[in-house]
């Protein structure tokens, strides 16, 4: 379950991973995009770290959402931002991680009009949340899911411009989403009581 404390911890861990892997994320975005995913995410998470993340789960998610939406130029800012905004709304009703993350998926789907299998961050989010439901999300599973995006052909976002040639490359947004779910694991959000 989410608590205001473990959300702050998770977002700090997410920021650490994004800053550490900023160049790698931009490298992944080079053959199938415009090479800015690492910079976009790093700029957004730095701004989140400068903001005051406090109050209820709703307040925290909302501050994170608004910061990402306003500070990230690329497609990923509004996508992660909308996910966090929907998670804010869901957190008014429940602290259950699976339910809140499902609201995040709905936000990404609504904003990006993509579905499973289009080589986007949803190819990480959807099966990761399925695994949470089954109580078996691990970092190994996250790695497998991220690697599996290599086989997909992009039909949404900038990577769709290279079409078939997007095959063979990990989707950068799936990789950054891997770091997000890994951070939730490490912060204890997904631990069953």
CA distance 160 to 107: 21
Least distance to ligand ADP, CB of residue 11, Å: 18
User: Six-digit token pair at 106?
Assistant: 């709905």
37 closest CA partner among 155, 168, 162, 174: 174
Choices 10-18, 30-38, 48-56, 133-141 (CB under 6 A): range interacting with ligand ADP: 30-38
Radius of gyration of the chain (CA): 15
Q: What distance in Å separates the CA atoms of residue 164 and residue 52, rounded to the nearest whole number?
A: 43
Member of 48, 53, 57, 122 binding ligand ADP (CB under 6 A): 122
By the rule CB under 6 A, 74 interacts with ligand ADP:
yes
Nearest to 57 by CA among 13, 81, 89: 89
In the complex, the smallest distance separating the C-beta of residue 85 from Mg ion, rounded to whole angstroms, is 21
Q: 101 vs 174, which CB is nearer to ligand ADP?
A: 174
Residues that bind Mg ion (CB under 5 A): 29, 33-34, 36-37, 74
Question: Contact positions toward ligand ADP, by CB under 6 A?
Answer: 29, 33-34, 36-37, 40, 74-76, 79, 108, 112-114, 120-122, 156-158, 171-174
């Amino acid at each position: 379950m989410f608590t205001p404390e473990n959300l702050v911890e998770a977002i700090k861990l997410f920021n650490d991973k994004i800053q550490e892997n900023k160049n790698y994320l931009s490298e992944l975005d080079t053959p199938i995009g415009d090479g800015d995913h690492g910079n976009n995410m790093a700029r957004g998470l730095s701004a989140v770290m400068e903001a005051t993340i406090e109050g209820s789960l709703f307040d925290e998610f909302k501050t994170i959402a608004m910061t990402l939406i306003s500070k990230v130029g690329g497609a990923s800012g509004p996508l992660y931002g909308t996910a966090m905004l929907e998670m804010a709304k869901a957190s008014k009703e429940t602290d259950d991680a699976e339910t809140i993350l499902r609201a995040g998926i709905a936000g990404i789907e609504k904003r990006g009009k993509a579905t499973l299998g289009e080589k986007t961050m949803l190819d990480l989010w959807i099966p990761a949340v399925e695994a949470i439901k089954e109580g078996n999300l691990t970092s190994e599973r996250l790695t497998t899911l991220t690697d599996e995006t290599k086989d997909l052909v992009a039909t949404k976002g900038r990577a769709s411009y290279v079409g078939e040639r997007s095959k063979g490359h990990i989707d950068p947004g799936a990789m950054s989403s891997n770091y997000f779910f890994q951070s939730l694991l490490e912060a204890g959000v997904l631990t069953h009581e």
